[in-house]
Structures are given as structure tokens and as C-alpha cells.
Amino acid sequence: MKLFLGLAIGMAFGAILQLGGASSYKKIMGSLLLKDMDIIKLILMAIAVGTVGIYALDLVDMANLSIKPTYIVGIVIAGLIFGVGFAVAGYCPGTCIVASAEGKTDAMVTVLGGLAGALIYALVYPAISGLISVTNYGEVTIPSTLGIDGIWIAIPFSAILFVLMFKVLKDRY
């Protein structure tokens, strides 16, 4: 049942991305150039709703948050790979899947590149795991550091994102 719920949520998220224009290379480039705020607003909305949603579900034991350890070197390397991939392809992982489902060849090639990258990482990981684990800071979160439940961070954080979406970000057409 949980798998079907996950599939339904994933399909709804994909539909929202598609309807919001997030699979459009032109819209994504407009966002990256800060000329079109639609995609940025869509992303902020997804983060705001998702943050409160996941912590609310965790609060009533309907979600199982599994915080991964904070590996600084791994985060920096992953951020660089993600940034370069985004700049070259013009898609992030979610929008790439949506664009692939629309039949866009460049997005399909990007998905294959992402899968190849994951395979390379899996093959290289044993050699670099020592370097990555040196900077292991454990399961660090703002709520755990402050000793409070995550929902009390999620609500004001999401409120700030909503203010940013509706009051601060204006289209520059």
C-alpha cells in the first residue's frame, strides 16, 4: 500500500512539475537567468509544502524520517557534480524525468548520464569512502541541535518561503 501511495504522490508531483512548465528548457533557463520567476516559485512552493508535510506526518508517526550523516566532502563533491550537470543539461533530476516522459530526447540522454554517474560513483565509492568518512559529522539537523521537534522549524521556514514567493519575487519580463 505504501508503494502505491508513493507512486501516486510521485505522479502528482510530476504532473505539477509538468503543468508548471518545469520541463521546459526555456523556462528553466529563464529561471537560472532570474528573468522568469515561475519555476523558482514552483520550487519554493514544493519545498514549503513538503517541509511542513513531512514533519507533520512524522509528528503523527505516518513518516519515518531517516536523516543521513553529514559528510562535508561528499556534499561538496555532490554539489559540484549537480551544479555542472544542471548547467550542461538544463535540467535537475526531477524536471529531467518529467521532460523524458514528454519524449524530449535531451532529457532522456540526461537520465542515462545520471544513471551512468550513479554507476561510476558506486564503483569508485570503496576507494573514496575513507576520504568522505573523515568529515562525518553524524546526523546533524537544526531541530536536533536546538533540541526541539522539526515541525517548529518547518512552519516558520515554510512561512518565510511563502512570503518570498508572493511578496518578494517579481517577474522581470
Percentage of the chain surpassing pLDDT 70?
98
| Residues making up the chain, counted from first to last | 173
CA dihedral 164, 13, 54, 47 (to 10 degrees): -20
Tens of pLDDT, residue by residue over 123-146, are 998 998 887 778 888 888 898 899
Tens of pLDDT, residue by residue over 108-128, are 999 999 899 889 989 998 998
Higher pLDDT, 6 or 114: 114
Report helix, strand or coil for 136.
strand
140 close to 70: Cβ distance less than 8 angstroms: yes
